[in-house]
Amino acid sequence: GESLSYVPAPGLSTSEEKTPYEDVIRYNNFYEFGTGKDDPAKYANEMSVDPWSIAVEGECDRPGTYALEDILKPHDYEERIYRLRCVEAWSMVIPWVGVSLADVLKRFEPNSRAKYVYFETLHDPEQMRAQRSLFSTIDWPYQEGLRMDEAMNELAFLAVGLYGKTIPKQNGAPIRLVIPWKYGFKSIKSIVKIRFQEERPKTTWEMIAPREYGFYANVNPEVDHPRWSQKRERRLPSGLLSPNWIETEKFNGYGDQVAHLYKGMDLQKFY
């Protein structure tokens, strides 16, 4: 990728050891390109990301279709080193480059009815081979959403790069969400649509298996996935003979910044 210029955001970054670049770009869940971990690295080059535009809709005063450059132009890039905890019980530490989600959303001037924000990934079976599969249980396009106060939290991030370079296609080029206190599937990739809405959006995984994947999907060792424990995680790269197990932290260790968003909520119920 092309080198990006950015300022580090040490206050929002972890000092833990980073997952090597080669692992970050070859071990991905991006089901538009297949369910294998190496499928995205193999097939994401079939997607074209330039030019790219995002449709902004719903409860805001500046709806419209924006070219990606126009969305990004007024902002300076930051580097934030975040933990990424996958719902499958593995995790990475990734230096993302991008912009604060709140700063971008505010420019569309959401109105008082905007209680939630909805995101959508590109849907183009010609470029995304797994969208052509007859046996997929996903009803494309991939859809995600956040409550407005979650989206406005300072940790919520839009990444356009990692390791100082343009983000590779398998990691969600040209622009993806990064919500570090939630399971990875909330961090939707290759975003083409943003909609502000009053009612809570249904999200892709919630529609497929509501018992397994909730709307909130906050990292929480106290709430097991029905098929496996969430108490621990394998920090990648993990060795065969020396598996790198670590204890999973509530809100992926970002409780200081986000726990107040869920005050009074039963997180066993709103998982």
Partner 1 sequence: MSGFDWRRSPGFLLTFRLSAAVIAALPLMLLVRNFFAAGLGPDPGQAVTESLGIAAFQLLLATLCMTPLRRWTKWGGWLRIRRMLGLYAFFYAALHILAFLQFIVGWFDLWAAFTKRPYIIAGAVAFMCLVPLAVTSTKTMVRRLGGGWKRLHRLIYLSVVVAWIHFIWQARSDVGEMVLYGLVVLVLLALRGYWSGWSTLIPLKKE
To the question of whether residue 187 is assigned a binding role by annotation, the answer is yes
Burial label, 263 (beta-carbon count in 10 A; 0-12, 13-18, 19+): exposed
Do the bridges between strand 157-162 and strand 245-247 make them parallel or antiparallel, or are there none, so unpaired?
unpaired
* Residue 100 or 248 having the CB closest to partner 1: 248
To the question of whether residue 176 is assigned a binding role by annotation, the answer is yes
Phi, psi of 195 (to 5 degrees): -130, 130
Distance CA 49, CA 252 (A): 31
To the question of whether residue 166 is assigned a binding role by annotation, the answer is no
**Residue type at 184?**
G
* Residue 11 or 226 having the CB closest to partner 1: 226
To the question of whether residue 188 is assigned a binding role by annotation, the answer is yes
Distance in Å, CB of 127 to partner 1, minimum: 17
Decide if 119 contacts 191 (C-beta within 8 A). Answer: yes
* Residue 245 or 270 having the CB closest to partner 1: 245
To the question of whether residue 120 is assigned a binding role by annotation, the answer is no
To the question of whether residue 29 is assigned a binding role by annotation, the answer is no
Decide if 101 contacts 151 (C-beta within 8 A). Answer: yes
DSSP code of 170?
Answer: G
* Residue 90 or 262 having the CB closest to partner 1: 90
* Angle formed at CA 66 by CA 61 and CA 68, multiple of 5 degrees: 135
Distance in Å, CB of 172 to partner 1, minimum: 17
To the question of whether residue 59 is assigned a binding role by annotation, the answer is no
* Residue 31 or 52 having the CB closest to partner 1: 31
Distance in Å, CB of 208 to partner 1, minimum: 7
Structure tokens at 105: 């959303």
Phi, psi of 31 (to 5 degrees): -65, -15
Distance in Å, CB of 267 to partner 1, minimum: 19
Conformation bin of residue 165: beta by default, left when phi > 0, alpha when psi is -120 to 50: beta
Distance in Å, CB of 38 to partner 1, minimum: 7
Distance in Å, CB of 223 to partner 1, minimum: 13
Site residues (vs partner 1, CB under 8 A): 19, 23, 26-27, 31, 34-35, 37-38, 90, 130, 133-138, 208, 224, 226-229, 231-232, 234, 236-240, 243, 245
* Residue 73 or 227 having the CB closest to partner 1: 227
**Which DSSP string corresponds to 20-31?**
PHHHHTTS---G
Q: Coil, strand, or helix at residue 258?
A: helix
Distance CA 49, CA 174 (A): 6
To the question of whether residue 171 is assigned a binding role by annotation, the answer is yes
Annotated binding-site members: 28, 31-32, 86, 121, 171, 176, 187-189
Annotated binding-site members for Mo-molybdopterin: 28, 31-32, 86, 121, 171, 176, 187-189
